[in-house]
Amino acid sequence: MMRYGLGTAGATLAGGVPGARARGGGAPSPVIMPASRRPRELPQPRLLRSADGVLDVRLTAAPAVVDMGAPRLVRTYTWNKVVPGYTWEIRPGDLLRVRLRNRLPYLPPPKVMVMDRPHEWTHTNLHTHGLHVSPSGNADNVFLDIPPGGEHRYEIPVPHDHPGGLSWYHPHRHGGVTQQLRAGMAGMLIVRGEIDRVPEVRAAAEKVMVLQSIQLGDDYQLLDPIPDPAPDQAFFPRAHALYTVNGVLRPRLRMYPGEVQRWRLLNAADSTFLSLHLNQHDFHVLAWDGLTLAEPDTTGVVMLSPGNRVDLLVRAGRAGSYDLVLTPGSSQQPDIPGMPGSAAALPGPRGMAMPGFPPFDEELARRTVLTVHVTGHGRPMGLPDSLPAWNPPVLPISRRRNFAFTVQREPDHAFLSFGVDGVPYDPAAPPYRIPLGTAEEWTLVNAFDPKLMNHAHVFHIHVNPFRITRINGRVLDKPLWRDTFVLPKLAGDSLTFESNFTDFPGKFVEHCHMTSHEDLGMMSAIEVVARSGGPA
């Protein structure tokens, strides 16, 4: 077990003065000017597209001053000085080459490194979330560490049979994931494929929408985490949370009546569920997590856990203005449409009050994140009846595993402990080993002392997506393929899912994608082992 009681050893902020307001930027303080507050058209991140089988990317982590349409310019950490990062577009069989340079500020090392507290949050690395690629060597290897001033060259071969769909990239350096996601360091990663050739999908204008929760201090500057907070502080302090779409507050988007657009949404917030509804419109869902459904699923609300992507079609109705709203079910304890144990049925306040945070009632009231202006005229457009489903067979199950995401309060310290099976992440612990070429069925249980606050979690495993067959023991009519899925919030709630481990030996991780839970220890290592012996 890791011990705490470090005093302020790890709590010296980047400004050098314990307890002082952290300076996230590291650059000389500019005069902070009011930013533009006029409504802006939804921008699209710059597109970097592969050519001749290669996408060559220069990715630089750096502080920057960004105009998000907030009352002030925002000083934060970025990829390439923009929020979100550029969109990368590749094809199956491509080679993705990334030269990652870390220009985030140097922090004095903590006297004691604690694996289940925020630490070294200006170190970074790269995770290609959703890509079915190798976790080893210079590929999607989240055990790599790129310290400030360092650089690394990634080479990620993408399989020829990779499904077309929506993935994303973000830092995954344990101890600093939350800090870099809440700063805005994330970008979309599109794999082109069969779904893009469906005539109705192809005809629709494509809009990428990176949804983020940018968390800032009073002066709209990123604050440092506090590894050892006082009772009136939080690990990840903030005064403002900006719910942005492609880095802009409340942008607008034009459509004409009868127009069908393809919206490609990502929840890149560090720890917030986002339940979205477009007033007076339906969503026609094509794919979750880059995995195409057999037919469009028509729904009024899409609930994205942190890390989820959804690809959908929207058909504009009559002329008018329509808000895309975060419903009150967006919170750290989400309403999950159609799911047993949904918060809708439960009495009492939805949010939990934590010292150092604005009350959730206030922060997660119904709010508009984007406005659609339906105007003009054009050719009416159609919706597809069927889609090229991604639904591969699962091999016969060779082993069943039961495990738990655990939240405990230990008698000797003030904070909750987050872990897998009661143990916070320990890089020296042996990984859970799986023989290459097999499939397993896992049941994940939400385990915490019922006297504590409810905690929903979000299961994510790298490299291989999984097929959810049961929620709280109840068999689903249609199993769900995902790479990220909410674990409902009540003690004893469970998810049962199965997964193939048929290629890519190597070591990777499973964790809660509420990244504040992950940085606090809710992660463990997995190793897929080739039958001949050690990993390839």
* Torsion angle of C-alpha atoms 444, 446, 448, 449, degrees rounded to 10: -120
Closest separation in Å from C-beta 15 to Cu ion: 30
Nearer to Cu ion, 246 or 516 (CB): 516
CA distance 145 to 151: 9
Choice from 250, 457, 460, 511 touching Cu ion (CB under 5 A): 457
**Run of H or E including 530:** none
CA distance 95 to 53: 6
Number of residues interacting with Cu ion: please give it, by CB under 5 A.
Answer: 4
Closest separation in Å from C-beta 456 to Cu ion: 7
* 512 touches Cu ion (CB under 5 A): yes
Q: Interface mask (CB under 5 A) for Cu ion, residues 513-532, using x and -?
A: -x--x---------------
* Distance set, CA 54 to CA 51, 140, 208 (Å): 6, 16, 22
Closest separation in Å from C-beta 382 to Cu ion: 41
Nearer to Cu ion, 250 or 455 (CB): 455
Closest separation in Å from C-beta 66 to Cu ion: 29
For the four alpha carbons of 339, 340, 343 and 345, in that order, the dihedral sign comes to positive
> Phi and psi for 279 in degrees, rounded to 5?
-50, 130
Stretch that binds Cu ion, among 19-27, 133-141, 307-315, 507-515 (CB under 5 A): 507-515
Q: Tell me which residues in 93-112 interact with Cu ion (CB under 5 A).
A: none
Q: Hey, which bits of 247-363 come out as E strands?
A: 248-249, 252-255, 260-267, 274-278, 283-288, 291-299, 302-304, 309-315, 320-326
Stretch that binds Cu ion, among 10-18, 42-50, 316-324, 454-462 (CB under 5 A): 454-462
CA distance 445 to 21: 39
Nearer to Cu ion, 132 or 517 (CB): 517
Nearer to Cu ion, 420 or 514 (CB): 514
* 489 touches Cu ion (CB under 5 A): no
Closest separation in Å from C-beta 514 to Cu ion: 4
Spell out the alpha helix ranges (H) of 355-428.
360-363
Q: Interface mask (CB under 5 A) for Cu ion, residues 401-440, using x and -?
A: ----------------------------------------
Stretch that binds Cu ion, among 136-144, 216-224, 293-301, 456-464 (CB under 5 A): 456-464
- Please state the length of the chain: 536
Determine how many CB atoms are found less than 10 A away from the CB of residue 239: 15
Nearer to Cu ion, 284 or 511 (CB): 511
CA distance 467 to 485: 10
Nearer to Cu ion, 103 or 350 (CB): 350
* 123 touches Cu ion (CB under 5 A): no
Determine how many CB atoms are found less than 10 A away from the CB of residue 285: 18
The site for Cu ion (CB under 5 A) is made up of 457, 512, 514, 517
